[in-house]
């Protein structure tokens, strides 16, 4: 008598948290995640991955010197085109800049700057803004009035104008830019968070905690904060893109990250004159990098927004 073994499907029962995380990952948009991962990887592992130094020019061969200047001994060869041109070489795949430095290496170090500045700046802005928003929404009365008036005033200034103004106080510098971003953008969080808190504060679990004599500080941190995190994360994800563009704009104007650091905005500014010579790639490659990073950040932000805000999910 043939026996058929019942085929019990082999299932792995994972803990719920892991299961939910996997669900999220499976639903996540692949392309932006991939782009972010690649850029993040390039940023973190730049010293290992980059073929050359970010500051030192690439040592040229005698043949390259001869071809460029007419004498065989030169410190560096500037303006070499990408490898798909005749004068380019795979040694410097995207070409060299006006100081003979390898562009690919500088682009990957530049990813560091953009990511660090974009994320840290927005993070600090988020912390300040969220706390102020909670205080304004929850404490009410004078706190609310003062904080909201200041926030309103802060919000009237266009961010680039404000950033340039602040940069002239602090001067150029990577951490100065982070500080500037934090100071310019905190107000974006405050307004939104305050709105959330205003409605949260009427909810039962908050009222219950108050009745039970839980301290206001504890209410803020244990009840309000976790519940505004969804909104905060949405704002955060949208702000990262804007922050990166502001940093690039500041560096472009010369008041952001100073040379010789390879900030993408700075690289574009330095190579504007090369455009007239026809060496378009020097200014365009950093721009493409900015575009990819911001696009990926914005796509992630959009996806997060849809996920976290149930009303939008079916749009």
Partner 1 sequence: MARYILTRAFYSLVTLWLLVTIVFGMVRLTGDPVKMHSEVGADKAYLDELRRRWGLDRPLHVQYLSFMSGLAQGDFGYSFAKSLKVRDIYLDRLPNSLKLGFGAFIISLALGIPLGMLSAIKVNTSWDSVGKVFALLGLSLPGFFVGLVLIIVFGVELGWLPVMGKGEHWWDWRHLLMPAFALGWYFSGAMVRITRSSMLEVLGSDYIKLVRLKGVPEWVVMALHAFKNSMIPVLTLAGLNLLIMVNVAVVIEVIFNWPGVGQLLYDGLTNRDFPMVQGVVLMAGIMIVVLNFVIDILYAYVDPRIRLSR
Partner 2 sequence: MSKEIVTLLAVLGALFIAASGEAVSATSTSILAGPLAQLDIKDAEIAPTRGVPKGTFTIAQHFALDPTWLDPQDHIVALTQQHYDYLVHDAMVKTMPQGLLTYSLAEHAEATTDFTKVAFRLRQGLKFHDGQPLTTADVAWSYQNYRGVSAKLFKDKLDSRRPDGGIERVDDRIIIFHFKEPFLDFMDLYSGASTGIGWILPKHYYEQVGPASFKERPLGAGPFKFVSQQAGVEMVFEAWDEYWRKSPAVKTIIVKGIRDPSSRLAGLQTGALDLAYGMTGRVLKTVMKDPNLRWDPNFTGPWWLMFPGYQEPSSPFHDKRVRQAISLALNRKFLSQQETEGIGPPTGNWIGPEYSSALRTPEDLPVPEYDPAQAKKLLAAAGYPNGLDLEWLVPFPPYYDYGERILTDLRAVGIRAKLQTLEGPVFRSKTGQGRKGYEGNRTIVLNIGPRPGGAKDSIWVYAICDSPSAVICEPAIEERWKRHEASVDPEERDRLIKEIQRMILAEYYFVPIYVNPFVHAVGPRVLPAGDAPPGEGFHRYWATSQAPYPYPWEDWQVKE
Among positions 40, 88, 195, 259, the unique one binding partner 2 when judged by CB under 8 A: 259
Instruction: Give me the 270-289 binding string for partner 1, x by CB under 8 A, dash otherwise.
Output: --x--xx-x-x--xx--x--
Is-contact 94 105, C-beta < 8 A? Answer: no
Q: Tokens 């103004």 map to which residue? A: 165
- Which residue, 242, 208, 238, 236, is CA-closest to 222? 208
Identify which of residues 77 and 268 has a Cβ nearer to partner 1 in the complex: 268
Among positions 252, 257, 262, 267, the unique one binding partner 1 when judged by CB under 8 A: 252
Answer with the entry of partner 1, partner 2, none that 157 interacts with (C-beta below 5 to 8 A by kind): partner 1
Identify which of residues 34 and 284 has a Cβ nearer to partner 1 in the complex: 284
Distance CA 186, CA 168 (A): 19
Helix (H, G, I), strand (E, B) or coil at 181: helix
- Give the range of 11-19, 145-153, 232-240, 266-274 binding partner 2 by CB under 8 A: 266-274
Sign of CA dihedral 131, 133, 139, 141: positive
- Close Cβ partners of 244 (under 8 Å, ≥ 6 residues apart): 114, 117, 118, 290, 293, 294, 297
Burial annotation 194-208 (CB, 10 A radius, 16+ → b, else e): bebbeebbeeeebee
Examine residue 224 and tell whether it contacts partner 1 (CB under 8 A). Answer: no
Identify which of residues 34 and 157 has a Cβ nearer to partner 1 in the complex: 157
Near partner 2 in 28-57, by CB under 8 A: 55-57
Identify which of residues 4 and 168 has a Cβ nearer to partner 1 in the complex: 168
Distance CA 105, CA 116 (A): 17
φ, ψ dihedrals at 280, nearest 5°: -65, -30
Examine residue 34 and tell whether it contacts partner 1 (CB under 8 A). Answer: no
φ, ψ dihedrals at 87, nearest 5°: -85, 0
CA–CA distances in Å: residue 300 to residues 17, 125, 227, 264: 21, 19, 21, 21
Cβ 57 to partner 1, closest distance in Å?
Answer: 24
Identify which of residues 33 and 283 has a Cβ nearer to partner 1 in the complex: 283
- Which residue, 120, 33, 19, 41, is CA-closest to 304? 33
Instruction: Give me the 53-92 binding string for partner 2, x by CB under 8 A, dash otherwise.
Output: --xxx-----------x----xxx-x--------------
Examine residue 274 and tell whether it contacts partner 2 (CB under 8 A). Answer: yes
Examine residue 253 and tell whether it contacts partner 1 (CB under 8 A). Answer: yes
Is-contact 276 270, C-beta < 8 A? Answer: no
Interacting residue ranges for partner 1, rule: CB under 8 A: 149-150, 152-154, 156-162, 164-166, 168-169, 241, 245, 248-249, 252-253, 265, 268, 272, 275-276, 278, 280, 283-284, 287, 290-291, 294-295, 298-299, 302, 315
Binding site for partner 2 (CB under 8 A): 55-57, 69, 74-76, 78, 98-99, 172, 254, 258-260, 270, 272-277
């Amino acid at each position: 008598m043939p026996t058929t073994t019942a085929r019990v499907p082999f299932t792995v029962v994972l803990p719920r948290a892991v299961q939910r995380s996997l669900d999220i990952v499976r639903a996540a948009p692949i392309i932006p995640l991939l782009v972010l991962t690649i850029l993040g990887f390039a940023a973190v592992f730049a010293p290992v991955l980059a073929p050359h130094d970010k500051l030192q020019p690439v040592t040229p061969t005698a043949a390259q010197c001869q071809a460029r200047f007419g004498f065989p001994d030169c410190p560096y060869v500037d303006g070499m085109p990408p490898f798909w041109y005749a004068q380019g070489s795979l040694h410097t795949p995207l070409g060299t800049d006006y100081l003979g430095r390898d562009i690919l290496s500088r682009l990957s170090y530049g990813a560091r700057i953009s990511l660090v500045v974009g994320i840290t700046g927005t993070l600090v802005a988020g912390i300040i803004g969220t706390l102020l928003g909670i205080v304004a929404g929850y404490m009410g009365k004078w706190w609310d009035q003062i904080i909201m008036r200041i926030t309103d005033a802060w919000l009237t200034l266009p961010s680039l104008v404000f950033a340039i103004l602040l940069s002239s106080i602090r001067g150029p510098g990577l951490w100065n830019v982070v500080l500037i971003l934090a100071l310019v953008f905190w107000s974006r969080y405050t307004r939104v968070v305050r709105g959330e808190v205003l409605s949260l504060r009427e909810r039962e679990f908050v009222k219950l905690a108050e009745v039970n004599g839980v301290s206001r500080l504890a209410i803020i941190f244990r009840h309000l904060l976790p519940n505004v995190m969804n909104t905060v994360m949405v704002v955060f994800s949208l702000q990262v893109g804007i922050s990166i563009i502001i940093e690039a704009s500041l560096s472009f104007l010369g008041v952001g990250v100073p040379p010789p650091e390879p900030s993408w905005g700075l690289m574009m500014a330095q190579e504007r004159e090369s455009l007239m010579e026809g060496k378009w790639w020097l200014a365009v490659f950093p721009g493409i990098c900015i575009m990819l990073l911001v696009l990926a950040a914005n796509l992630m932000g959009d996806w997060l927004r849809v996920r976290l805000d149930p009303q939008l999910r079916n749009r």
